[in-house]
Amino acid sequence: MKSIKQTTTIEQAAKILSDKNKIALFAHTNPDGDTIGASISLKLALEKIGKTVNVFCDSKLDGRISCFDETRTVSQAFNGKYDLLVAVDCGDIFRVGEFSQEYFDFGETMTIDHHGGEFFSKYNCLKPYASTCQIVYEIIKESGIEIDGKLATYLYMGLCTDTGNFAHNNTDGECFDMAGNLFRCGADIEKVYRTFFRDTTLSETKLQARVVSRIRSYYDGQMFLIYVTKADLDEFGLDPSITSGIVSYAIDIDTAKVGVCICEFAKNDYKVSMRGKNCSVRDICAEFGGGGHLYAAGCKISGFLEDVIEKIVRAVGYSI
């Protein structure tokens, strides 16, 4: 029986890691700044105490993030023998993606995560923090490993991205304290901010301009909807992941209660991102088999563009 339904403390996690020599870290599928920042900072820290550590991720990393040199060491092919496998920033075992089965079959596993508590590893270091990087930061401090500028930059990466650059309501005093410490250690806060929150490409800007300019308004400006077709993406040579931020243009309009972005990721298959202002959108997305947070949720709907739009508009109409 491998599941021990008891949280592994920071002290225990630090001890377990220091007892192993070859450690494999798994960033979650479709990686974000927190899973990558936490994985690489833990790798850099453990290497300082003589461990052999490799980071794996089943998905290709966003090209932008490769300006952080160590991200190029992340491998998509898991192989080799390890003493411990660690799932970083994974709320459940499926987040380990393609490697889930190998992970599940292995005896020595550890989750380091902040999503809320699935005990799918042998050791489960789970904390209700804003980011996984905060847990890794505590493990590193507990281990007495020195935090240099490079390490601080990766720790800052997850803290900054998972708090929406310290703007989301998960941001608390601890986040600012940690940011202050990382800054003093030499974290490159400007580079992290620019890479994750500002940098774009000309094609992305042009696609955005097009889809935002045809935004549709419903219910006297209480709902706005932006759609991106497969043809739009193909024309600019972009993939659906680049549309993740576009929904802000819909919800940011002053009168909006609900903002929607729908993106055709395969012919007649739409990924729907929904945001609410004092209006729960989770239940609306649940009607279509999706879910998420109260004010930020998503789902997938198949059909012709105008039919999909009509379904969403009707469902939103019951909630506003």
Interface positions with Mn ion (CB under 5 A) = 34, 89, 132, 162
Least Cβ distance, residue 10 to Mn ion (angstroms): 17
Of the pair 138, 162, the CB lying nearest Mn ion is at 162
Question: How much is the CA Rg of the chain, to the nearest whole Å?
Answer: 21
CB of 269 to Mn ion, least distance (A): 27
Residue 128, token pair as written in the block: 């209700």
Separation between Cα atoms, residue 72 and residue 245, nearest integer Å: 25
CB of 28 to Mn ion, least distance (A): 8
For the bound state, the minimum distance from the C-beta of residue 162 to Mn ion, rounded and expressed in Å, comes to 5
Alpha-carbon torsion (59, 247, 154, 51), positive or negative: negative
3-state DSSP percent of the chain in helix, strand and coil, to 5 = 45, 20, 35
Least distance in Å: CB of 182 to Mn ion?
Answer: 16
Q: Of 124 and 222, which CB lies nearer to Mn ion in the complex structure?
A: 124
- Closest residue to Mn ion using C-beta atoms: 34
Taking each helix axis from N to C end, the angle separating 132-142 and 10-19, rounded to the nearest 10 degrees, works out to: 70
- Sheet of 291-292: strand order equals 216-218, 223-228, 258-266, 269-276, 296-302, 291-292
Task: Write down the residue that tokens 């929150």 correspond to.
Answer: 197
132 or 273: whose CB is closer to Mn ion?
132
Three-state SS string across 151-186, please? HHHHHHHHHHHHCCCCCCCCCCHHHHHHHHHHHHHC
Pair 246, 205: CB distance under 8 Å: no
CA distance 108 to 5: 15
State which residue, 70 or 89, has the beta carbon closest to Mn ion.
Answer: 89
Token pair belonging to 14: 């630090």
Question: Toward Mn ion, which CB reaches closer, 31 or 259?
Answer: 31
Which of 38, 85 has the CB closer to Mn ion? 38
CB of 132 to Mn ion, least distance (A): 5
Minimal distance, residue 121 CB to Mn ion, in Å: 16
Q: How far is CA 306 from CA 104, 195, 229, in A?
A: 43, 35, 11
- Least Å distance between CB 134 and Mn ion? 10
- For the record, the structure tokens of 123 come out as 């050791």
Q: Which is nearer to Mn ion, 89 or 118 (CB)?
A: 89
Q: DSSP label at 8? A: P
Tokens 């002290």, residue?
Answer: 11
CB of 34 to Mn ion, least distance (A): 3
- 1-to-5, 6, 120 alpha-carbon distances in Å: 11, 13, 11
- Closer by beta carbon to Mn ion, 27 or else 309: 27
